[in-house]
A and B are shown apart, each in its own frame.
Chain A
Amino acid sequence: MSEQAQHVEHEHPVEHEHHIVGPKVYVVVFFGLLMGTALTVWASFVDLGPWNPVIALAIATGKATLVVLYFMHVKYSSKLTKLTIGAGIFTFLALISMTLSDYISRAWGRW
C-alpha cells in the first residue's frame, strides 16, 4: 500500500506533503502556553491602568498564535490554507474594528 501511495505522490507532485509534527515541538508549545497563562494571571494582579486589557489581550493573542501555528499545524500547511486563514482573520478584524469604531465615535464631542 505504501508503495502505491509513493507512486501516486510522484504522479502528482503539486500536492502538499504531509508533515508530522513531533512530540518535542508539542512539549515546548505546551510549556509556552502554561507560561503565558501564568504571565497573564500575574499581570492582571499588577495595576497598569489602561494597559491591563491591552497586555491581557496581547498575551492571549500570543498564546493563540502558538496554538494555531503548532497545534493546528498551520506553520506546516499548504499556501492555500495559510492564505485562507489570513483572509478570514483579516475580515474578522475589519468587521470588529469598524463596528467598534462606529460605537466609540458615534457620540463624539457630545459628552
Chain B
Amino acid sequence: MSDSTAIAHGAPADAHEEHPSYLRHHFNSVEQQSDATNFAMWLFLLTEIMFFGGLFTAYLIYRNWYYPAFVAGSHQLNVVWGTLNTVVLICSSFTMAMGVWCAETRRRRGLVLCLSLTFILGLCFLGIKGIEYREKFEMHHVPGQHYSLQSFLDPQSNPEVYAEYHDKPLALDMARHTEIYFSLYFALTGMHALHMIIGIGILGFMIYRARDGAYTAGHTTFVENFGYYWHFVDLVWIYLFALLYLISRHQ
C-alpha cells in the first residue's frame, strides 16, 4: 500500500503539463478519447433502441390482434396536443443542436441560453403531456380498477370524439381490449416521459456547470453526448406520434 502511494507521488510533477487536463491517461490523444466516448454513447443508444423497439413490437402485435379496439382507443387521443408536442420537441432538439455548436465554438453565453431554452421546452412537453394524462384520468381511460368502457360501448356519450370519427359501438369483448391499448399508451409515453425527466435533470446540471465555462474550454464531449441522448428521445417521439396518434384516424 505505502509503496504504491510512494510511486504515485514519485511521478514527475509536470506530467500533466504535456496534455490537456481533460485527457485521461489511458488514451493516446484527445481525438482517440472522444472517438471512444462517442462509440460508447452509441452502444448505449442502441440498447435504448432495442428497449423501445420491444415496446413498439408489443404495440404492433396487439394492434394486429385487436384492431377495432386499437382504432377506437387511438380516436380518444387529441391530435392537436400530439402535434403541438411534436413541434415543441423538434424545437428543443434544434436548441440542443445549437447548444452543441456553441460549446464547440466556445460561446459560453450562447451555450447557457441554448441549454436553458432546451430545458424550458422539455418542461413544456411534460406540461402538455400532463394535460393529456389528466384528460385520460377524467375519462376513466387509465387501465385498472376505475377503467370505463363507456366511450367504446356507447361512442355517442362522448360527443366531441363522436363528431370527428363517428365510431360504431364495439362488442363487449372487443371493447375490453381497449384497456390493452391504453396500457401500451401509458407504458410507451410514460417511458418516453421518464427519459425526458432524466434529460431535464441532466440539463439543469449542465446549465449550472456551463455558467462557469465548463464546456467552453475545449472539452465538449459531455454536451455532445447528452445532445445525442436528447435527439434520441426526440426520435422515439417521432415514431410514437405516428403510431399512437396518426395511423388509425380513418379506420
* Residues of A bordering B, CB below 8 Å: 1-2, 4-5, 8-9, 11-12, 15-18, 20-23, 26-27, 29-30, 33-34, 37, 40-41, 44-45, 47-49, 52-53, 56-57, 59-60, 63-64, 67-68, 70-73, 77-78, 80-81, 84-85, 88-89, 92, 95-96, 99-100, 103-104
Contact = CB atoms under 8 A, between A and B. Distances in A.
Given A41-B246, A52-B250, A96-B57, A67 B20 contact: no
**Dominant secondary structure at the A interface:** helix
A56 B42 CA distance: 26
**Dominant secondary structure at the B interface:** helix
B42 A30 contact: no
Interface string B39-73: 10011001001100100110011001100000000
B182 interface: no
21 contacts: A1-B20, A4-B19, A12-B28, A22-B101, A26-B94, A27-B94, A29-B97, A30-B94, A34-B87, A37-B90, A40-B242, A44-B245, A56-B242, A64-B235, A67-B93, A67-B231, A71-B227, A85-B42, A96-B60, A99-B57, A103-B65
B149 interface: no
A40 B246 contact: yes
Contact of A92 (B50, B101, B245): B50
Given A15-B32, A26-B94, A60-B241, 10 more contacts: A5-B20, A5-B218, A12-B29, A15-B29, A56-B243, A64-B238, A72-B227, A73-B228, A88-B50, A99-B61
B247 interface: yes
Nearest to B32: A15
Nearest to B236: A64
A51 B61 CA distance: 18
B83 A41 contact: yes
A59 B20 contact: no
A88 B30 contact: no
B174 interface: no
Interface residues of B, number: 57
Contacts of B34: 18
Given A21-B101, A71-B97, A71-B227, A78 B53 contact: no
Interface of B: 18-20, 28-32, 34-35, 38-39, 42-43, 46, 49-50, 53, 56-57, 60-61, 64-65, 79, 83, 86-87, 90-91, 93-94, 96-98, 100-101, 104-105, 218, 224, 227-228, 231-232, 234-235, 238-239, 241-243, 245-247, 249-250
